[in-house]
Amino acid sequence: MVEPKSIAFDAVDFLAKAGLGRRIVQLNPGEAFFSQGHAADSIFYLNNGRAKLTVVSSNGKEATISLLTVGDFVGEESLASVGGLRMATATAITACTALKIERKEMVRVMHEEHAFSDLFLKFLLARSMRTQADLVDQLFNSSEKRLARILLLMAEFGQPGHTEPLIPKISQETLAEMVGTTRSRVSFFMNRFREMGFIEYNGGGIHVHKSLLNVILHDKLPEQNAEMPPIEEPSRGSSGPD
């Protein structure tokens, strides 16, 4: 008797459909996937939309630490230990569709399906490299360069299928939190980028042009004049504001 062939595991199909221990959730802009301090009992995979990850300090100050896009996992701290707490809040920026996977099911599929564990490991490594690059960016680059890099990352510049990089509407306050500067400086830099043709405001979003790479790669910026605020950051030892 010929034994039936086992069906190969399809990680893409698994992440696109509901099933045992997982379900599709839809969120409107401003709704939270989970909140800081709540029980970490599941992980989310973003199938559609944009979201952000924020933390709040003990004195109530909020900071945006990451922006999430299609193909990102969020809430992976739930795998670290049973009964752990969320270290941050994940909130939808645009309408989002995501797969919510219970911790038990996530652990099972990682152990049993090598194709899935490979995919998840690649994601974790990419996120680790991104976090390291973010730290280097904060330590050594001016706020103008940091803003340019964030806009390019948000637009997924250079990724296959993104011929016209467009960033959904996002507040300058959120951008300022990620850059580590003030909203007024972000406003000045955004206007400067637009005047130079690096970006365009397109209805509810921002269209990013390839020329924005010049800010990071070649320092191709117009001459400063007395009416422009200084572009470079004060030295790290300075007590002056950013």
d(CA 116, CA 10): 8
For residues 104 and 181, membership in a common domain is answered with: no
| Tokens matching residue 24 | 């599709």
- In CATH, what number is assigned to the domain containing residue 18? 2.60.120.10
For residues 84 and 163, membership in a common domain is answered with: no
In a domain, 1, yes or no: no
Q: What is the pLDDT of residue 1?
A: 52
For residues 105 and 172, membership in a common domain is answered with: no
For residues 115 and 151, membership in a common domain is answered with: no
- In the beta sheet, which residues pair with residue 43? 101
For residues 15 and 118, membership in a common domain is answered with: yes
CB count, 10 Å around CB of 9? Answer: 13
In a domain, 5, yes or no: no
Which of 86, 106, 134 is where one domain is finished? 134
Q: What is the pLDDT of residue 228?
A: 45
In a domain, 235, yes or no: no
Q: In the sheet where 89-92 sits, what is the strand order?
A: 32-34, 89-92, 51-56, 62-68
| Tokens matching residue 161 | 């299928």
For residues 129 and 158, membership in a common domain is answered with: no
For residues 72 and 173, membership in a common domain is answered with: no
Per-residue model confidence as pLDDT tens digits over 30-44: 999 999 999 999 999
- In CATH, what number is assigned to the domain containing residue 177? 1.10.10.10
For residues 52 and 78, membership in a common domain is answered with: yes
- 150 touches 178 (CB < 8 A): yes
Pick the residue with more confidence: 140 or 228?
140
For residues 120 and 99, membership in a common domain is answered with: yes
E strands present in the chain: 22-27, 32-34, 42-48, 51-56, 62-68, 73-74, 89-92, 96-102, 166-168, 199-202, 205-208
d(CA 230, CA 225): 9
| Tokens matching residue 143 | 């706020």
Question: What is the rounded average pLDDT for all residues in the chain?
Answer: 84
Count of domains observed in the chain: 2
For residues 41 and 99, membership in a common domain is answered with: yes
Give the predicted TM-score (pTM) of the model: 0.77
Per-residue model confidence as pLDDT tens digits over 20-75: 999 999 999 999 999 999 999 999 999 999 899 999 998 988 888 888 999 999 99
Per-residue model confidence as pLDDT tens digits over 144-160: 999 999 998 888 765 65
d(CA 152, CA 193): 12
DSSP H or E segment with residue 143: helix 143-154
Q: Which domain holds residue 185?
A: 142-217
In a domain, 234, yes or no: no
For residues 61 and 99, membership in a common domain is answered with: yes
- pLDDT of residue 115 exceeding 80, the answer is yes
